[in-house]
Amino acid sequence: MNRRHTKRNRSFSSERGFTLIEIMLVIGLMVLLVGLVVTNVDNLFGTNQAELVRFKVKESFKTPLTSYRIHMGSFPTTQQGLKALVQRPENDGGRWRGPYIEGPEDLVDPWGRELQYRYPGTRNTSAYDLFSLGPDGTESGDDITNW
């Protein structure tokens, strides 16, 4: 019985664990992968922000603005802006049935700037222009528009 016990101990002691070099290689690869992810996070989220505002500008304001138009007779003026979807405009004649959107936080883009609105539109002359100034905050080629 004593011999058997000794053999078993030898078989356990001959098993090999990870060497320091193998562990260092695994840690190095993990650091490399984390570094790549961290440096590309802005690109990943920036794309999602642009897609979010593109949907907001092109699709999600259609219904509230159309409902406003049905109740009030026309879209909000440029002076009233999109705030007319949240707050009753002056001289509404009792026709305003809002709010047409949940709150003022829906009127900003992912970069924290108010969405731009014009009625009558300069691009959509028979309707309204709705756009975000994009990540740079100025009217330029990266604007996200409904035209």
User: What is the H or E stretch that residue 133 is in?
Assistant: none
pLDDT of residue 136: 87
Q: How many CB atoms lie within 10 A of CB 111?
A: 15
Query: Does the pLDDT of residue 111 top 90, yes or no?
Result: no
User: pLDDT-derived band of residue 141, with 50, 70 and 90 as boundaries?
Assistant: confident
Show Cβ contacts of residue 140 under 8 Å, excluding neighbours closer than 6 positions. Answer: 133, 134
CB-based burial label for 69 (10 Å; 0-12, 13-18, 19+): middle
Instruction: Give residue 115's region: left, alpha or beta (phi > 0; psi -120 to 50).
Output: beta
Whole-model pTM: value is: 0.65
pLDDT tens column, 9-66: 555 555 677 888 888 888 888 888 887 776 665 555 555 888 888 888 888 899 999 9
The full set of domains in the chain, from first to last, is 60-147 (3.30.700.10)
pLDDT tens column, 53-103: 888 888 889 999 999 999 999 999 999 999 999 999 988 888 999 899 988
pLDDT of residue 100: 94
Which is more confident, 129 or 18?
129
User: pLDDT-derived band of residue 114, with 50, 70 and 90 as boundaries?
Assistant: very high
pLDDT of residue 6: 53
